[in-house]
């Protein structure tokens, strides 16, 4: 029974990592669609969402099957609980990538707007957070996970900066209001992706250490600072 349980856990590991790679791909392609004003790329992201949804359901069913048949304990139970939560966050990240792709579809059909905000830079930071959270999961590395959590405030600050810049741009160029609102919406979706990525990192820490670490952002930042300066 133990060997069978471990085999099923290994299969779930493969599936959750596959789902993570799919979500990471969708975020990258959606933000690239805005950067390039590429309707084809945006549409591809939207169409891929059904596959992500199906994979999310399959992972959840596999986890529930293990809970029902094997009643895992200790590290195995923590793994299943963490995967159930990570699974949901990855599906939501896929949905947010679709939302960004929909903004890209609209913006591709409009004249470019002038705004001094590095959307591409913000997108790269959010993508890097997602990549590192998945690296933490693959390598079972709580230190990488804590570094991801510590970076969430940076994305929040960029989203606030975007909001203020859009306000000013609307005052200056009211004819661009709709396009500017779509850009702001894309920024907000990136901020939400970073939030879900932080959730994943927190669940990785729980999986490894058995410690619930939500609401400890200041602790992450302090630990990261001391690691960087030591």
Q: Would the CA dihedral through 45, 49, 55, 60 be positive or negative? A: positive
Taking residues 107-131, what's their average pLDDT? 90
User: pLDDT confidence of 230, banded at 50, 70, 90?
Assistant: very low
Single out the residue of 52, 4, 6 nearest to residue 27, CA to CA.
Answer: 52
pTM exceeds cut of 0.75:
yes
Range name among 13-27, 109-123, 192-206, 210-224 with the lowest pLDDT average = 210-224
**Could you give the CA distance from residue 188 to residue 19 in angstroms, rounded to a whole number?**
23
Q: How does pLDDT run across 108-117, given as a tens digit for each residue?
A: 999 988 887 8
Which tokens hold the place of 46?
A: 């939207």
Which region holds residue 18: left if phi is over 0, alpha if psi is between -120 and 50, else beta? Answer: alpha
Buried b / exposed e over 8-39, threshold 16 CB at 10 Å, is: bbeebeebbeebbebbbbbbbbbbbbbeeebb
Q: What's the mean per-residue pLDDT of the chain?
A: 90
Q: Find out whether 133 and 155 touch, Cβ atoms under 8 Å.
A: no
List, in sequence order, the alpha helices (H) in 72-176.
Answer: 74-108, 119-139, 142-150, 152-172
Domains and CATH numbers, the chain: 2-229 (1.20.58.220)
User: pLDDT confidence of 219, banded at 50, 70, 90?
Assistant: low
Residue 210 exposed, middle or buried by CB count within 10 Å (0-12, 13-18, 19+) = exposed
| Count of C-beta atoms within a 10 Å radius of residue 51 | 13
């Amino acid at each position: 029974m133990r060997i069978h349980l471990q085999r099923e856990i290994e299969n779930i590991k493969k599936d959750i990592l596959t789902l993570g790679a799919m979500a990471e791909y969708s975020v990258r392609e959606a933000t690239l669609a805005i950067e390039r004003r590429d309707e084809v790329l945006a549409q591809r992201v939207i169409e891929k969402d059904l596959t992500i949804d199906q994979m999310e359901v399959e992972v959840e069913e596999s986890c529930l099957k293990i809970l029902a048949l094997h009643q895992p304990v200790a590290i195995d139970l923590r793994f299943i609980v963490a995967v159930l939560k990570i699974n949901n966050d990855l599906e939501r990240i896929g949905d947010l990538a679709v939302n960004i792709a929909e903004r890209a579809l609209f913006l591709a059909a409009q004249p470019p707007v002038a705004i001094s905000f590095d959307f591409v830079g913000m997108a790269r930071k959010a993508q890097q957070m997602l990549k590192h959270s998945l690296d933490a999961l693959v390598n079972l590395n709580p230190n990488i996970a804590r570094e991801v959590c510590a970076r969430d405030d940076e994305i929040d600050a960029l989203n606030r900066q975007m909001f203020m810049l859009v306000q000013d741009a609307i005052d200056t160029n009211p004819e661009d209001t709709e396009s500017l609102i779509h850009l702001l919406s894309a920024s907000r979706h990136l901020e939400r992706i970073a939030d879900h990525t932080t959730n994943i990192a927190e669940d990785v820490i729980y999986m490894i250490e058995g410690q619930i670490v939500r609401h400890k952002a200041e602790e992450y930042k302090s630990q990261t600072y001391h690691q960087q300066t030591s």
